Every structure is written in C-alpha cells, then in structure tokens.
Structure 1
C-alpha cells in the first residue's frame, strides 16, 4: 500500500503531460489502490483517455474502454447500464484483435450468457476469441459450452480438451465441471481425486486472483467439487466411505454456493447422481 501511495503521488505530478499516468490514476482511484476508492474520479480519468484526440493516448484507448465498460456494468462511478457496458466492451474488444482488450472479449462472452442480453452464439464467438488470445476464464467457459451444446453443437472431445487444459492452468470452474463429468461417467476415482485437489484451498479470493478468474465462478467450481466429493465419500465411490467427511464437504458446498448445492442435492435425491 505504501508503494501505491508513492506511485499515486508521482502520477498526480505528471498527469497533465502523460496519458499513461492518467490511465494508472484511473485504475488506482477506481479500485482504491494507494488511496480511498473514488470510482467517479476513476471514470473521469478513463473517459479523458477514451475521448482524447491525442495520438499519445491511442495505445491506452481500448484498455480505458474496457474499464469504463466495467464501471457501467457494475454501476460504480456511473449509473448502471448494461447497454453502455456492451458498447464500450465492443470497442475494447476490437473484433477479437489479439492486441485489443482480451478481458473485454471475455467479458462480452459472459455478458451474452446473461439473461438480459442472452445470445449464446455471440457468447460462444467472444469466448472463442478470448480463448484463442489466451484468456483462461473463457477457455473454461468454452469447454462448458461445448460440453452442453450451448451456442455451438455439442462436442464432448472439444469440451474435454478445453476443460482439461483450463483446469491444468488453474481454472477452478473448469475443474468443478470436470469432476462432474468424471462422476457422471462413473470414473469415480478420477472424480474423487480431482475433487480433493480442487477443494484443498479455501481462499477463494486468492484463487481468483491467481487465475485471474471471477471469484463467483471460482466459488461455484469449488462448491461443485465439494458436493461430488461428499457424494463419493458418502457412497464409497472411488474413495473409502466416510460419512463424517461427507457431511463436511456437503456443508462446504452449501457455504460456498447454496444454489449449486441445492441443484445438486435435488439431483441426488432424484437418483440422478
């Protein structure tokens, strides 16, 4: 935090002559790095870059557009507007250009998966672009879309390739879905082993930062893994039966994501898993 404060002071000194400083100040004020959070000020700095005619601001415009889109989507520093977030992210994504904002490409994939602007073909397109440009979160999302035929024809082979690679790279949501796939296919030992690894770390925030994935989906992935591990422990599938341990993991799943736990519990009660 001390280094952030020092950086903030230096950026403030040169902001009138350096667009990079303006951009950094926008990030720091929006996220509260080295200062109190001031999202309105962060938005002001990002808007200054995006609306500038100076060639010196050119290389920062797409990143600024992504951050402004994030502000509109979160309703932080500006009034919430999904449509404005979409418009700004489309600018930032630049038709899938690998040198553009890959985060914006992934964000569009997520946005078009949501009820408000749901368009799974667009979601698949943008997750594909982001994945090809190295985005880990989109790689996991792409695997899930292939697995369930969302926005694209179902392709289990392509799904597993995406999910396994994403899981190896640290995508916890992908790991959760792999656990589910292994369990469903009755590869109980593989399901239990992967679930045990996935549930080993309880620090959702740290896992999200390390993989640069959204904490909500990290929690969902761990919750899925915890539930299936509990099921394996309860029934002695692929692992030694241990009902006390099963209760612990059922509880963990409920704590991390009640909706996921409820959905899986209902499936278990109906004999589907």
Structure 2
C-alpha cells in the first residue's frame, strides 16, 4: 500500500472513536510550542477514552475522579491490567501539564513528555483497536510541527482572538514559572570561583523571566472580559505582581468572579484563601470547605488535598484520609507524602509501613522535596543499596539542595562524598556543600556541622601528608581553602 493512501494518525484515532480525535489533534499540535497545553489535552483525551470504554461495556461511573473511574473499570474486569497501566500513565502525564513548575520540569523535558504521551496514545489505541473493531487499519504518523505558536500569536495580535490570547498567555506563564524556579535554585555544582559568572547568567535570565511574566499578564488582561479562564489568570497575575507590584486584594476579587463563573482552578484557590485568609478575604472554614468541595468534585488535586487538610485539622482523620488518598492517586506529590505520613501514623487507616514507604517513593519520584530527602537518606543508610539506588539517592539529595536549600541534605551529601559512599571521593564538593550547609543551618544543624567540619579538615590534611599527585594536591588545597 502506498504511503499517501494510508490513514494519518489523526484519522486513525478518529476511526477508533470520533469524539477522541479532536483532543488528540489538539494535543499533538501543541507539543512543540505549548507542551503544558498538550498535556492538558492528553488528560481530556484519557477522560473521554475511559468514558468510551465504559459505555461500550454498559458501565456507569460512580465518581468524577479519573483515577476512580479507571479503577472501577479494572474492578469490573472491563479492562485488563496492561490497559489499566496505560490509562494511569496517560493520567499521570496529563497531571504534569497543569503545574509543571511543581515537578521541577524544564520546557525541553515537558516537550519530551508530551511527545512520548502522543506516541503512547497511538500504541495504546493500536492495541485496543481489534477488541472494539473488526480490523486495525494501517496508518502513517505525521511528524510534530511548531506552527501552532505562530498561528496563535497572529490570532492573538491581529484578530483579537480571546482564546488565542489566553493560550499565548499560558505559554508565556509556563515558561516564566519554569525559568523562575531554575533561577531561584541553588547551583550546588558551582564552585566558589564560578559563583560570580553564575550570578551574571542568572541576572540575564531573570530579565527574560520578568518579560515573560509581563507579556503573560498583558494577554490575560486582554482576554479577561471575554474568556473565563483568562479572567482567572488575570487575577493570579495581579495577585503575584506579574507586571510589577502585587495587587493582592484586586486579584482575589477577580479570582472570586472567575470562581462564580465556574472556573475550577479559581474555586480551588478561593477555597484556599478562605482556609488561610487573604488580603481581602477573611478565614471562613465553612466557605473554604464549600469551594474546595466544588473544585475537588471537578477533580482539582490541590482542592482534594486542602479539603483533606481541613478534615485533618478537625481531627476527622477518616475523611481526611479519603480526600488525601484521592489527591495522591491523581499524582499530586504533596498529597502523596501526606498520605505516607497518615499510613505511618495510622491516622484514618491502619498503620501500614509498606504503604507508607510506597507513597514516600511515589512522592519522591514526582519531585516532592521532603520525600526526596527521606528516600535519599534511607538509601545512604542502607548498607545493601545497589549502585542504581545510590545514583537515585545522589540525584534526590542534589535536587533537595538545589530547590529546597535544605541544610540536612547538604550535610548528608557532603558526608557521602567525603566517605566514598557514592562510589567516589570528592572532597572539594564535600567541602563546598558543608560550607553551604553552614549558611542555611539553624542552631541544631550548626551543632551537627561542627564535628563534620573538623573531621573533613583532618581528612584533607591526612591525605595531603601522603604525598598525593599534583592534580590531587590541587583539589585538596582547594577544599582546604573552602573550609578556611
């Protein structure tokens, strides 16, 4: 069969289920330019696919939650284990699109995740095809392009298209948030004599981040009176001062308007404001619970988690466990770590150390810093840890240092590098991390740092006395200078 006579991948998806092709096509079109939006469409696709599978088997869902729906199909034996895993994988990828900065992801990493999700959708639908149709047609994959960004900019600027203005704003916001996180992170790999040039690079990057925030705010404001989600983002931009000085009270009131217009993220944020208080909003637990419940029922993971926090504070642990579990199952890392603690302490459930450790590891894999510190430390203290596990421990602790400015992680990593626990000895990096720990330490940390500092100094002097090579001597003297 000639290639031009084959179905395209979009036509292939349309042939499987017509109501899936629009989300698939949209997701694919945004992969290169706005990967966060592509992943949002991947999540929508997964919702619709799950519904299509249920309808085919006469199954009605009892929950709006995607995780619950997948598990309901699994328990009803409507889908097999590989299908369950594939759906959860797509669900997890979709979650990353909503808040990429919370997963410590760069634009390039998001593009790779989005591309992989599209490939996984095709592979998955190819496997499902013969189960629901008589035969599986051949198709050709049309490569990703980067045209949608230019088209959106044209529509936003020249046609005053509110939807395009909102999407351009979201692209700029995602870029700015990810850049901002990288700028705020500690470069633990930068040695002292490199810090000055690193600072210059950060200042240049910060300028581009500020510009991206300002441009995002402009487009949200432009579309806000015609686009409900843009209205919400306009409120957020005022709240955080994307264009300069924050205007919290005005931002909160605009977010209230967006919530009343049905924007789920606005409902979740409004519920949070009523939980902790804001510039113009006083604490009102009843109002918080109402708004968070509305957002949670619409599958907002942060709302589920915060609803769990309300019940937890009220010591209604069973209800807290229910909502924290739901949030954790959506892939929300903070809820996953909270759930681990509840399993560990038997709050709203039986004590289950295996489940506790499972959720700690899940949260760590998703970039939750407390979980990463816990996992990294546990691995370093395990005499039977494999090389792969030690690599994971080092990566986790590096990220906790980089994004969390955590003195404990700095000390753990410093000792591991000095003692050769990671398969090598690096006294220069060990000394640098220990000095960094001293900068971020509280009084309790300082008491622990002092003997480690003395021990490392003695270790360096002892190795110098052994007449090391010229290169080794240079590194040792460098480390000694850092500790001076």
Which TM-score band (shorter chain)?
A: 0.5 to 0.7
Is 2:222 aligned against 1:10?
yes
Report the counterpart of residue 105 of structure 1 in structure 2. Answer: 304
CA RMSD of aligned residues (A): 3.9
Distance across 1 between alignment mates of 2:443 and 2:339: 22
Distance across 1 between alignment mates of 2:362 and 2:433: 26
Distance across 2 between alignment mates of 1:108 and 1:250: 39
Is 2:413 aligned against 1:229?
yes
Distance across 2 between alignment mates of 1:86 and 1:155: 32
Any stretches of 5+ residues in structure 1 without a counterpart? 205-217, 269-273
Is 2:372 aligned against 1:175?
yes
| Equivalent residue runs for 1:102-181 within 5 Å | 102-110=301-309, 117=314, 120-181=317-378
Correspondence for 1:38 among 220, 232, 247 = 247
Cα 1:32/1:139, change in 2 over 3 Å: same
Please say if residues 310 and 320 of structure 2, whose CA atoms lie closer than 8 Å, have aligned partners that are also in contact. Answer: yes
| Equivalent residue runs for 1:205-216 within 5 Å | none
> Cα offset for 1:37?
1.5
Cα 1:73/1:181, change in 2 over 3 Å: same
Please say if residues 274 and 285 of structure 2, whose CA atoms lie closer than 8 Å, have aligned partners that are also in contact. Answer: yes
Is 2:395 aligned against 1:197?
yes
Correspondence for 1:71 among 266, 273, 282 = 273
Cα 1:6/1:69, change in 2 over 3 Å: same
Cα 1:243/1:23, change in 2 over 3 Å: closer
> Cα offset for 1:178?
0.9
Q: Report how many residues are paired.
A: 237
Please say if residues 146 and 153 of structure 1, whose CA atoms lie closer than 8 Å, have aligned partners that are also in contact. Answer: yes
> Cα offset for 1:102?
1.4
Secondary structure of 1:76's match? coil
39-48 or 229-238, which deviates more: 229-238
1:100-142 C-alpha deviation (Å, 9 max, x unpaired): 32111123345566xx655554443322110112212212332
Report the counterpart of residue 92 of structure 1 in structure 2. Answer: 292
> Cα offset for 1:203?
4.2
Report the counterpart of residue 213 of structure 1 in structure 2. Answer: none
Report the counterpart of residue 229 of structure 2 in structure 1. Answer: 20
Secondary structure of 1:200's match? helix
What is the TM-score of this pair, normalised by structure 1? 0.66
What is the TM-score of this pair, normalised by structure 2? 0.41
Between Structure 1 and Structure 2, whose CA radius of gyration is higher?
2
Please say if residues 275 and 288 of structure 2, whose CA atoms lie closer than 8 Å, have aligned partners that are also in contact. Answer: no
> Cα offset for 1:41?
0.8
Distance across 1 between alignment mates of 2:446 and 2:412: 13
Cα 1:239/1:64, change in 2 over 3 Å: same
Distance across 2 between alignment mates of 1:148 and 1:93: 26
> Cα offset for 1:10?
1.1
